[in-house]
Amino acid sequence: MKTIIKIFVIPMLLVGFSNYAQDLSIINGTSLKVLTGTNFYVNGLSLTPTNTDLVLAGPMEISKSTVPVGESIGRVYTLTSPITNFEGDLIFFYEDSELAATGASESDLVLRLKDGVTWSTDLVPTGDSTLNTLKYTFLSPTNFSAVTARKSGITLSTNKFNKLAVEIYPNPTVSAVNIKTELTTEAIIYNNLGQVLLKTNEKNIDVSPFNAGTYLLIVKDTESNTINSYKIIKI
């Protein structure tokens, strides 16, 4: 009998950012092992390793965004640390409403993976329009840090706003957080109740008034309205 692991996590942000949800967080020093033949499911993304166990090592966060990347549909999964050497089945679930902006039909859809800053060529999946799924089997070891779907024949741009373009430091911090980037940004800090504590365009943020704990920092590129999210720890 096939074992199924399903992870359902209530998003940390319930107010203000419905287009972003942190669906799985693995803390530093811990890991999650998915045994061969076991189905691992996180909010519409399913992975089933076939040849070797899949190990997800912290720190790692898996998030689903409704913000398209280039001409992708409105569903993009991002991993803060890449999955490496994956062999097996990937199933990508989608909603019909997520196809509207691209003008794609279900038969047009292909998958794209991102490895670092480079998007893969089209991966032609096996589609199921009844279940709204796209399935692709990786027969050789594959690395990826993001997954999305798009209409066949469209090139996805590499967004200039990515994990390499923005650096957050120090983290953990005692008194301040710095945002190092050449982009013009807006920063918003939320507590674990989803309440906005601070909104600023400054790149040196004073967090000394905050209590010790974990907070969510959203950094938005004001030109493209693309967002990145970071977990910051105040000590």
User: Three-state SS string across the chain, please?
Assistant: CCCEEEECCCCCCCCCCCCEEEEEEECCCCEEEECCCCEEEECCEEEEECCCCEEEECCEEEEEECCCCCCEEEEEEEEEEEEEEEEEEEEEECCHHHHHHHCCCHHHEEEEEEECCEECCCECCEEECCCCEEEEEEEEEEEEEEEEEEECCCCCCCCCCCCCCCEEECCCECCEEEEECCCCEEEEEECCCCCEEEEECCCEEECCCCCCEEEEEEEEECCCCCEEEEEEEEC
Domain 167-234 has CATH 2.60.40.60: no
Identify the band that residue 14 occupies on the pLDDT scale cut at 50, 70 and 90: very low
Q: In this predicted model, what pLDDT tens digit does every residue of 99-126 receive, in sequence order?
A: 765 667 788 899 999 887 778 778 999 9
Confidence (pLDDT) at 186: 87
Give mean pLDDT, residues 179-205: 85
Q: What is the mean pLDDT of residues 141-155?
A: 84
Of residues 225 and 47, more confidence is placed in 47
Q: What is the mean pLDDT of residues 45-69?
A: 89
The residue extents of the domains of the chain are 4-151, 167-234
Q: Assign 8 a pLDDT band (cuts: 50, 70, 90).
A: very low
